[in-house]
Structure 1
Amino acid sequence: MIHPVAVIGAGPYGLSTAAHLRARGIPVRIFGDPMVSWRDHMPAGMLLKSTPVASNIDAPQRGYRLVDYCDAAGIPRLVTDEDIIPAATFVAYGEWFQQKLVPELERVRVVSVERRGTAGFELKLDSGEQFTARAVVVATGLSGLAHVPRELAAAAPDGPTPTGPVSHSSQHHDLSRFSGRELIVVGAGQSALETAALAAEAGASVRVVARGRGAVDFGDPPWNQPKLRPESPFGRAWSLYAFSYHADPYRYLPPQARHFLVRRILGPLGAWWLRDRFEDKVRTREVRRIIKSEAREEGSVLRVETPGGRIEELTADHVIAATGYRVDLAAMDFLGHELRARLAVSRGTPKLGAGYVSSVPGLYFTGMLGGSSYGPIMRFVCGTEFASPRLAGHLAKVHG
């Protein structure tokens, strides 16, 4: 009996990987809710920071780019760097990609994965089914990886919630709940700045608290990009070109350098088009650090140290931590304890070899889960162009 390959996750990386495996004639079972993080864990009205060329889900054949979806849906083409992509359009594109190239998607959850000797892996589904897979690709994206720093989590001992004193930005789809209320958004990246702008437009009084002097900034518009540098999906720069098209050597860098670069390259920065919606509508407060958060009768209180060294308290009805995501295998409880114990890790992230395979033969990780091994491109949709054909090729060679 030929066991299938199991792909866990139905976001851009899971869908792209499954499409490449299917094109090679490899039996695949893919599990998940298509585009769920994009659809349910981002605020309504959000626009993508990435440009159209950086927003294509890679397919094994022509005709499945974002512009192809626009043509099929009869909507204006999104082509140039000045075209801004609504998140709702990108979700619809991903669902169209799934229907066309991965129609056998199973909308069930994988509850456990265990190694089964030399036969592969034993998977259990929440439907009650158990089956054996010859290989497993983990492409769960941001699911379960929302990061709330310890100093902010102190105000929410039972965990961040939209109705409590502190939440994570991924817990909000409808920001109109904050109309007429005081809101603090902690962070300086696109998620923080766009969440703040959308909440202000919904009627909230918003203040962004950013750690570090000069922390709140916006990128240059496309017409101000340098011309005499190579193009990449992220802009014109030699480093961005290398990270985009030559990511294989990244995993040979020293661990400290790999983890630093994957965090900092294309790090906290607002999109050029967001500046006008943000300035004069959202207050900003730059602090050296946040010392502690507390829930009091008057609301959520942040104790901060100012750049000048003073200790101050900031109060609001609610605090949103737009503090990103952190890969941690301990959070992936569907992977059996024995399996996780066998995985080589670096700061909680899987160490991957050629073709995105982990230290456990037959177990692959892609998307954000591969960032510490393959670099910052894995944080973005356009990384599917690099990752999916290589992963599928390696898997076909070893397990095909």
Structure 2
Amino acid sequence: MISSTDTVIIGAGPYGLSASAYLTKAGVPHQILGQPMHAWQNFMPPGMLLRSEPFASNLYSPCGGYTMEEYCRRNRLEYQPVGIRVPVEHFVDYGLWFQSQLVSHLRPVEVVDMRRKDGFFRLALGDNSTLVARRVVLALGLKGFAQTPPALQGLPRPYVVHSGEFGSLAWAKNKNVVIVGGGQSAIGLAALMREIGARVRLLVRGADVNWSGEPRTSRGIISRLLRARVGLGRGWDSNSPSSLLTSFLLSEYPVVFHMMDLQRRKRILETGWAPSGAWWLRNRVEGKIDILAQTEIRHAELKNGQMVLQIASGNEISCISADHVVLATGFKVDLARHCFISQEIRNSLSLVSGSPSLTGNFETNVRGLYVIGPAAALSFGPALRFVYGAKYAAPHLARHISRCFQEEAGNRVVPSQAIPSEPVEEHGGSGLRGQSIFPAPGSNAE
């Protein structure tokens, strides 16, 4: 059976759910595909604390009353805009509550193939159905973009695994674990694993861990006001008024970033927000975890059930071994890695080092195909790497799609006409609602 709608959102995380809430309010028929909050629920370790402040951890809706603050009030949880840490479990539960209240037209299915035909998108779904749409919004977060250092590519799981590929850390108890990376993910995992009984070593490429400074409260009124409003994780000198102003502009007005030339945008993304650990993690790590700085992995191999790493540090070469190596080495956007997108569409996309070139309305050069979330960061700035970026992306995208939908209303060609030889049901939503994948050693996990 083939069904149709005007717009399809692929991905039901914070960006997809927020965009759906705005499209619903705008009256645009659409469906959203995917398990709600899937990556946050399944691939984040229990006990992890969000780096973003509570006020910057909202999903967004044109209706009032669906903020993190309201969720905490309803559940009698502590809340203040800044100064407390949000457990990932609370954030997931909040997202599921948001979805249950505002996004009932969700289908928890995967897209296995997406092609373009006669100006429409044809999506083959995991439940063997087909969906045809005029527009598609990709809101997939960092799915499929895990970055692996060359020396560790091709090595088997679970001996080598990326930090974005597992949830529960119970497997790490009493294990020797090497974590590669110097950012928040690496440092947070190191703290959590040590606290459940793992023996952890942290390999950092830089001269030392780059700790973010504890926010100061004694500066002038302008700095205090800006700091309270900056939803974007602060970069450069986080206590400098000029840095705070820059962060504020990029946080609240991503269109400013979009107007910059490509080289300047690249420089800001690459140098402004370097990997760092949150100041409140410091006392859980320093003096408690073995940190090897200025290291590079030259070679790695599996020997007798152990990962053996050849490490270069300065002019010295040494070898260390571990039961598991966890790669907290970040993500590299490459839209071509989404294998469900047809080769024809991938060949047509204008990409800059894997990132799509987007118009001011989040549209790619393939008409009707939009991208929001971290994959849009090269066009709209570092705010899009955080949940907070949905504050700008969701309403802006919805306004644009709503205008297009209304303009087309007088000369409507429904998606079903793209494939008239097969039965088609046209509708705006199905009304459907919706573990750790870290395998045991030796299992054939995908």
Structure 2 residue matching 1:48: 3-state secondary structure: coil
| Contact in 2 for aligned 1:287/1:304 (Cα 8 Å) | no
Aligned to 1:53: 55
The alignment's C-alpha RMSD in Å is: 1.9
| Superposition deviation, residue 240 in structure 1 | 0.6
**CA distance in 1: counterparts of 2:142 and 2:36, whole angstroms:** 13
Give the TM-score of the pair, scaled to structure 1: 0.93
| Superposition deviation, residue 206 in structure 1 | 0.5
**CA distance in 2: counterparts of 1:269 and 1:57, whole angstroms:** 25
**CA distance in 1: counterparts of 2:324 and 2:130, whole angstroms:** 43
**Greater CA radius of gyration, 1 or 2?**
2
After superposition, give the CA deviation of every residue in 1:192-211 in whole Å (9 maximum; x if it has no partner): 00101111011011110000
| Superposition deviation, residue 4 in structure 1 | 2.3
Pick which of 220-229 and 246-255 moved more. Answer: 220-229
Aligned to 1:251: 258
| Contact in 2 for aligned 1:82/1:222 (Cα 8 Å) | no
Aligned to 1:219: 212
| Contact in 2 for aligned 1:176/1:203 (Cα 8 Å) | no
Quote the sequence identity (%): 36
| Superposition deviation, residue 38 in structure 1 | 0.5
Q: How many residues align?
A: 390
| Contact in 1 for aligned 2:178/2:203 (Cα 8 Å) | yes
| Contact in 2 for aligned 1:185/1:321 (Cα 8 Å) | yes
| Contact in 1 for aligned 2:66/2:98 (Cα 8 Å) | yes
Aligned to 1:188: 182
Cα 1:174–1:60 shift into 2, 3 Å: same
Structure 2 residue matching 1:354: 3-state secondary structure: coil
Cα 1:298–1:128 shift into 2, 3 Å: closer
Cα 1:178–1:225 shift into 2, 3 Å: farther
Counterpart amino acid of 1:274?
L
Counterpart amino acid of 1:351?
S
Matches for 1:287-302 after TM superposition, within 5 Å? 287-297=294-304, 299-302=306-309
| Superposition deviation, residue 303 in structure 1 | 1.8
| Superposition deviation, residue 225 in structure 1 | 7.7
| Superposition deviation, residue 363 in structure 1 | 0.5
| Superposition deviation, residue 249 in structure 1 | 3.4
**CA distance in 1: counterparts of 2:326 and 2:203, whole angstroms:** 10
Indicate yes or no: 2:320 matched with 1:320: no
Aligned to 1:330: 336
After superposition, give the CA deviation of every residue in 1:117-151 in whole Å (9 maximum; x if it has no partner): 23x21111111111221110000112112111212
| Superposition deviation, residue 53 in structure 1 | 1.3
Give the TM-score of the pair, scaled to structure 2: 0.83
Q: Structure 1 residue runs of 4+, over 6 Å off?
A: none
Q: Which one of 259, 264, 272 corresponds to residue 265 of structure 1?
A: 272
Aligned to 1:309: 315
**CA distance in 2: counterparts of 1:2 and 1:112, whole angstroms:** 15
Aligned to 2:400: 394
Counterpart amino acid of 1:122?
R
Cα 1:132–1:208 shift into 2, 3 Å: same
Structure 1 residue matching 2:204: 3-state secondary structure: strand
| Contact in 2 for aligned 1:243/1:376 (Cα 8 Å) | yes
After superposition, give the CA deviation of every residue in 1:258-308 in whole Å (9 maximum; x if it has no partner): 2342244333111222111112221100024222222223721222221x3
**CA distance in 2: counterparts of 1:126 and 1:334, whole angstroms:** 11
**CA distance in 2: counterparts of 1:334 and 1:2, whole angstroms:** 19
Cα 1:399–1:151 shift into 2, 3 Å: farther
After superposition, give the CA deviation of every residue in 1:33-82 in whole Å (9 maximum; x if it has no partner): 0111111111111111111111111111211110111122x222322321
Cα 1:367–1:102 shift into 2, 3 Å: same
| Superposition deviation, residue 223 in structure 1 | 4.0
**CA distance in 1: counterparts of 2:270 and 2:324, whole angstroms:** 27
Aligned to 2:6: 4
Long gaps (5+) in structure 2:
407-446
Structure number with greater CO (CA < 8 Å, separation at least 6) is 2
Counterpart amino acid of 2:87?
P
| Superposition deviation, residue 168 in structure 1 | 0.7
Structure 2 residue matching 1:113: 3-state secondary structure: strand
| Superposition deviation, residue 177 in structure 1 | 1.5
Counterpart amino acid of 2:379?
S
Matches for 1:11-30 after TM superposition, within 5 Å? 11-30=13-32
Aligned to 1:126: 126
| Contact in 1 for aligned 2:4/2:132 (Cα 8 Å) | no
Structure 2 residue matching 1:211: 3-state secondary structure: coil
Structure 1 residue matching 2:201: 3-state secondary structure: strand
**CA distance in 2: counterparts of 1:269 and 1:153, whole angstroms:** 24
Long gaps (5+) in structure 1:
none
**CA distance in 1: counterparts of 2:45 and 2:308, whole angstroms:** 24
| Contact in 1 for aligned 2:7/2:28 (Cα 8 Å) | yes
Structure 1 residue matching 2:293: 3-state secondary structure: strand
Counterpart amino acid of 1:132?
V
Q: Which one of 348, 351, 356 corresponds to residue 350 of structure 1?
A: 356
